[in-house]
Structure 1
Amino acid sequence: MSLQIPQDRPWLGHYPSSINLDFEIPEKNLYSLLDSAAKKYPEHTAIIFENEKISYLQLRNMVDRLAGAWKQLGAAKGERLGLMVSNHPLYVVSYYASLKLGLMIVQINPHYTVRELLEIFNDATVTYLVTEPECLEKVSQVQDYSFKEIFITANGAGYPGLPELIERSVPLAQNCPIEARRDIAVIQYTGGTTGKKKGAMLTHYNLIANVIQSKALYGERMLTGAETILTATPLYHVYGMTSGMNLSIYIGAANLLVNKFEVEKVLKQIETYRPTLFPGVPKMYHAFAHYPDIESYDLTCFKMCTSGSAPLPIEIMKKFERLTGVTVGEGYGLSETSPTTHRNPPDGVSKIGSIGIPLRQTDCRIVDDNGEDVPERAVGELLLKGPQVMLGYWNKPEETQNALRDGWFYTGDLATMDEEGYFYIVGRKKEMILVGGFNVYPQEVEGVLYEHPAVLEAAVVGIPDKEIGETVTAYIVPKPGIAIDFDDLREHCYRHLTRYKVPKQFEVRDTLPRNSVGKLLKRILVEEATNKTKA
């Protein structure tokens, strides 16, 4: 018996087991992943942090004790707990203790400004806050906002310290009963690249679904109870949370947790602990590939590496693959989708520049401005449907209604699909540049710029122009010690792009504005250029 592949769903033919497309997603509290791992692998290492190890049994005990302490302090189901902590074991403990109590976790970047913090605190009406001593001064500057309690990741900082609470508390025995498809586990704020932040409401069901979908993609390659995941991506980011932390606990892996990505330090940890899985972002692969002494390190321990949050330049991908012997699986995801929806299959064809095929139980369409499906290779907006898609945006019914229509999530990303069912992102719908009535997709232009030997980084944006609508503008970071020859760069673009797509302006920068996981903040470039024009 073989599965009939629908003509409009060609990606189904690439699944390792094309008949078994469905799998059960348990409707449980997300805490159940930890509870299950502690029962199956009590003595296995759950976390490695700064050369110290915590077993699964120890981790669950810490979580249960913290949940017991918070229960005694009156924390109740549905209240919002802000988790504002860099990668640290106490992030993991706080996360799962919150879930056990039925609290909603509000993910907060510790590097946010006072203004950004106040925006999130007010929007989510955060009741409790867990943070680091280093963040207390910034938190104190948030005027006219009060918490029921602030908890700190160290003792003796003037607030209840998590280590002391855990040590003296009685473990909480029972999980808070939840409705997995409706109860919110995490409010994950979008990165704010296009303006005001929105909190994606991710349910227990959404987050459990995404780790099961990820495990299904890797199949027998990913062994339960035997892997070590290198987690250098911040856990407060949805990619690190799911692909680093939740996935590691689901499969009973050891989580090699990196507080701050410093390439030399991480390389030494790789040699010591030999991680097998690495969910990274382009800036990390870039750092590895350009480290002067990289050839002296043995990176062949990796058997699966993935990249997300931004496109990975081809030259970086090829060098990392040469160093490890592993093909980097580019993929795609959003805060609104827990996050992963697409990935290049590890046991199939991996197409450079593609985000791969949809994960199992994920359906996709590419539509035009009228909501009609476009043919293969045509550009349109990517629509998604699946168990990992958010419930909606917190306190934003109008934005929710615009994003979730007729059962589909409208991503705002422009994409194409080839005849084999592989998808390609060509840019943001709102980032598309309109030049004299013609559409220019920034990612296509950036891909050409990256092929020039002098270009290290590139960002392409549209700057408002009264005559032609927008002017294509490129911001370039040159490779160290190399001067940019603009005539040569422009000629390179003309060889590979239609004339209207070639940047009319080039500007050299030392760095490009990025968020904490390396995603380009093009809005800042547009704002700077617009303000300069007005001046």
Structure 2
Amino acid sequence: MLKTGIVDKLYHSAQEFPDRTAFVYENSPVSYSELLDRVEQYAAAIDALGLTRGKRVALMLPNIPEFVYLYYALLRQGLEVIPLNIMLKAGEIRYILEDSESASIIAWDRFSTQVTAAVDGLDSCKYQLYIGTEAPGSGLNLTEFGAQRRSVPPACELEGEDPAVIFYTAGTTGNPKGAVLSHAGIASTVQGISETFFFTHTDRVFAVLPLFHALGQMLTMNVPIATGAAFALHPRFDRETIEQFFQNDAITVIVGVPALFEAIQSRPEIKEYLSDLRLCISSGAPLPQEIQTGFIEVFGIAILQGYGLSECSPLVTCNRIYREQRAGTVGLPVPENEVAIFDDDGRQRPTGEVGEIGIRSPSVMKYYLNRPQATRSVIRDGWLMTGDVGKIDTDGYLHLVDRKKDIILKCGFHVYPREVERVLLAHQKVAQAAVVGVKSPRIGEDVKAFVVLKQGEQCSSAELIDYCNEKMAAYKCPGIIEFVSELPLGSTGKVLKKDLK
């Protein structure tokens, strides 16, 4: 295995802290020695199935222990992991399996309906493996298969530039693209975050962000494991019973989206359970000042804001514990990340001037899978051009100004308007549709659709929202639908979306 990689970090933590808790799930602790044993069991099962180095495996699991075990087992054996958003529908799953030429999909048995439909007739995806009690059709119950004792195969000898994880991201065309991250890139991210925020084996991290998401995966799973810390793993966030999440775990670090921090600060009684809290990081959407102010008043701790994207695995900049948390900024670059501002001709702009944000770092993706032209369009002379607009002040703090891209950032997830528009336009009653993002104090941005109905047709918002929910992941669906008689058009016939916002 790669001596500086995250799998090696797991082995190191298991050797240093065998009896220490690695994570807690449903009030049941799992020690580092138990974690490593389960990883090796699943590695043996994967090897027995003939899934070998370089093959790609899609992982469609919620925040359950098996995500952790299988993620590390797959990487140990040199396979490439493709985390799938658990809210995807069959067509969306099939697209990624086909595009990535995945040899297998490992899914929770509760997702069997979507997975079975997705793999129907798809010969390239040889194995459908399920975690749980059921294995429909030609699927194999990996929970049972993995529980069988086998000789543990040797860990794969990995190179730093070997592909490790592929995150499918919306990109600028509306068709998801696989951003390929290397073992060395992920290791660089984990090391930089660990050093920047002083993670140690005494930390206990609140892990409710989805592990299929780059932020949750890196900050709430990989960093704790690499430093011998513990994390409290939760499948979902429940606003109504939020205090129960913190009663027993002595949490020191919370990483989340603004909605999570808003819920916490609105319940001052939670303070008694968070006496050890030392670090809070918010990302995925701008943090409203009222949430920051309220949180400081209740807990005496500032929420640090950061900036990143899946192509950078994912954190690029963040405010610091030990330096000024400058309002209106997303902080300073984390170690080994360079940030610069470019004009439209690719020239770097001086301090304080606005332009496109570029990033240079070992953590930047290697390429978009099977898309050399798309890769060349965003990686230029070693710099990843983000499509985001910003400026850097004299002290090196990054200020986000706007996004060139039309991507909507909802609850930390990317939603591409054209994809939503295509679904709406397929509805028999819809003549025209335009989708934009609108600010939301709770979820960053919501998806709003402006719809023109066909002549003589009648339709309700609920009908269209239900229709969208049948066709795509719930987070992509419009939260607001406004029926209009016409859409504003420019001289070329293009919808003037700025007039709709």
- Tell me if both proteins adopt one fold, taking TM over 0.5 as the criterion: yes
Q: Specify the alignment match of 1:67 in structure 2.
A: 43
Q: Tell me, what secondary structure is at the counterpart of 2:339?
A: strand
CA deviations on 1:148-178 (whole Å, 9 max, x unpaired) are 2122111343443333223213252411111
**Counterpart amino acid of residue 328 in structure 1:** I
Q: Specify the alignment match of 1:151 in structure 2.
A: 129
**Correspondence 1:401 to 2:376:** yes
CA distance in 2, matches of 1:85, 1:338: 19
The offset of 1:126, in angstroms, is 1.1
Call closer, same or farther: CA 1:475–1:236 in 2, change over 3 Å. Answer: closer
CA distance in 1, matches of 2:393, 2:478: 30
Is the contact between residue 28 and residue 178 of structure 1 (CA under 8 Å) also seen in structure 2?
no
CA distance in 1, matches of 2:477, 2:111: 27
Q: Which runs of 5+ in 1 are unaligned?
A: 1-25, 433-441, 444-458, 462-470, 480-510
The offset of 1:345, in angstroms, is 1.2
**Correspondence 1:104 to 2:83:** no
Greater mean alpha carbon deviation, residues 189-198 or residues 307-316: 189-198
Q: Specify the alignment match of 1:217 in structure 2.
A: 196
Q: Specify the alignment match of 2:61 in structure 1.
A: 85
Call closer, same or farther: CA 1:141–1:51 in 2, change over 3 Å. Answer: same
**Counterpart amino acid of residue 177 in structure 1:** E
Q: How many residues align?
A: 436
Q: Tell me, what secondary structure is at the counterpart of 1:278?
A: strand
Q: Which runs of 5+ in 2 are unaligned?
A: 410-414, 418-433, 443-464, 490-494, 496-501
Q: Specify the alignment match of 1:343 in structure 2.
A: 318
The offset of 1:246, in angstroms, is 0.4
| C-alpha RMSD of matched pairs (Å) | 3.2
Is the contact between residue 203 and residue 391 of structure 1 (CA under 8 Å) also seen in structure 2?
yes
Is the contact between residue 301 and residue 324 of structure 1 (CA under 8 Å) also seen in structure 2?
no
Q: Specify the alignment match of 1:180 in structure 2.
A: 160
Q: Tell me, what secondary structure is at the counterpart of 2:71?
A: helix
CA distance in 1, matches of 2:36, 2:368: 31
CA deviations on 1:398-432 (whole Å, 9 max, x unpaired) are 01111111111111110111111100111212349
CA distance in 2, matches of 1:114, 1:527: 28
**Correspondence 1:201 to 2:169:** no
The offset of 1:99, in angstroms, is 0.5
Q: Specify the alignment match of 1:414 in structure 2.
A: 389
CA distance in 2, matches of 1:38, 1:84: 26
TM-score (norm 1): 0.75
Q: Tell me, what secondary structure is at the counterpart of 1:419?
A: coil
Call closer, same or farther: CA 1:520–1:326 in 2, change over 3 Å. Answer: farther
1:63-462 alignment runs, 5 A limit: 63-142=39-118, 143-146=120-123, 147-158=125-136, 159-181=139-161, 183-191=162-170, 195-219=174-198, 222-223=199-200, 225-291=201-267, 294=269, 298-431=273-406
Identity of aligned residues (%): 29
CA distance in 2, matches of 1:477, 1:100: 41
CA distance in 2, matches of 1:339, 1:531: 40
Greater mean alpha carbon deviation, residues 242-251 or residues 275-284: 275-284
Is the contact between residue 208 and residue 237 of structure 2 (CA under 8 Å) also seen in structure 1?
yes
**Counterpart amino acid of residue 102 in structure 2:** V
Is the contact between residue 200 and residue 393 of structure 1 (CA under 8 Å) also seen in structure 2?
yes
The offset of 1:386, in angstroms, is 1.0
CA distance in 1, matches of 2:165, 2:482: 31
Is the contact between residue 64 and residue 171 of structure 1 (CA under 8 Å) also seen in structure 2?
no
**Counterpart amino acid of residue 342 in structure 2:** V
CA distance in 2, matches of 1:302, 1:108: 31
Q: Tell me, what secondary structure is at the counterpart of 2:385?
A: strand
Is the contact between residue 362 and residue 384 of structure 1 (CA under 8 Å) also seen in structure 2?
yes
CA deviations on 1:436-472 (whole Å, 9 max, x unpaired) are xxxxxx99xxxxxxxxxxxxxxx9x9xxxxxxxxx9x
**Counterpart amino acid of residue 108 in structure 2:** E
CA distance in 1, matches of 2:167, 2:482: 25
The offset of 1:58, in angstroms, is 0.4
Deviation >6 Å, runs of 4+: 518-531
Q: Tell me, what secondary structure is at the counterpart of 1:273?
A: coil
The offset of 1:376, in angstroms, is 2.5
CA distance in 2, matches of 1:193, 1:374: 24
Q: Tell me, what secondary structure is at the counterpart of 1:43?
A: coil
Call closer, same or farther: CA 1:530–1:358 in 2, change over 3 Å. Answer: farther
The offset of 1:118, in angstroms, is 1.5
Q: Specify the alignment match of 2:423 in structure 1.
A: none
Q: Tell me, what secondary structure is at the counterpart of 1:302?
A: coil
Is the contact between residue 228 and residue 277 of structure 1 (CA under 8 Å) also seen in structure 2?
yes
Q: Tell me, what secondary structure is at the counterpart of 1:205?
A: helix
Greater mean alpha carbon deviation, residues 170-179 or residues 124-133: 170-179
